[in-house]
């Protein structure tokens, strides 16, 4: 469930790109989530990275129902 930075030379960008190589095994409690962003299309696996209120980042599978629900909820509360 770690977020890895891929060197810019790998993806052809000026800044490192966060990629997910594994996903969270369990659903993260919604109350811990402060924000999210999607990984780059350059990454080998699609992913959503949730940022917790304590500043941690956690990779999640974008195909999971709970992930889609959290994204919708976060978008509505921006």
User: Domain count of the chain?
Assistant: 1
Q: What is the pLDDT of residue 4?
A: 53
CATH (domain of 63): 2.40.50.40
CB-based contacts of 75, cutoff 8 Å, min separation 6: none
Assess if residue 3 is contained within a domain: no
Report residue 10's pLDDT band, with 50, 70 and 90 as the boundaries: very low
Assess if residue 21 is contained within a domain: no
Whole-prediction pTM: 0.77
Assess if residue 35 is contained within a domain: yes
Assess if residue 56 is contained within a domain: yes
pLDDT at 51 over 90: yes
Q: What is the pLDDT of residue 47?
A: 96
Which domain, by its residues, includes 36?
A: 30-76
From CA 71, how far away is CA 12, in angstroms rounded?
28
CB-based contacts of 55, cutoff 8 Å, min separation 6: none
pLDDT at 7 over 80: no
CB-based contacts of 64, cutoff 8 Å, min separation 6: 23, 27
Q: Is residue 60 helix, strand or coil?
A: strand
pLDDT in tens, 25-43: 999 999 999 999 999 988 9
Half-sphere exposure for 33 (CA within 13 Å, toward CB): 24
């Amino acid at each position: 469930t770690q977020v890895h930075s891929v060197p810019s030379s790998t993806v052809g960008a000026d800044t490192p790109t966060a990629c997910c190589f594994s996903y969270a095994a369990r659903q993260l409690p919604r109350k811990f989530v402060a924000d999210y962003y999607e990984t780059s299309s350059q990454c080998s696996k699609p992913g959503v990275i949730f940022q917790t209120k304590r500043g941690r980042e956690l990779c999640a599978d974008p195909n999971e129902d709970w992930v889609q629900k959290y994204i919708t909820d976060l978008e509505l509360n921006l």
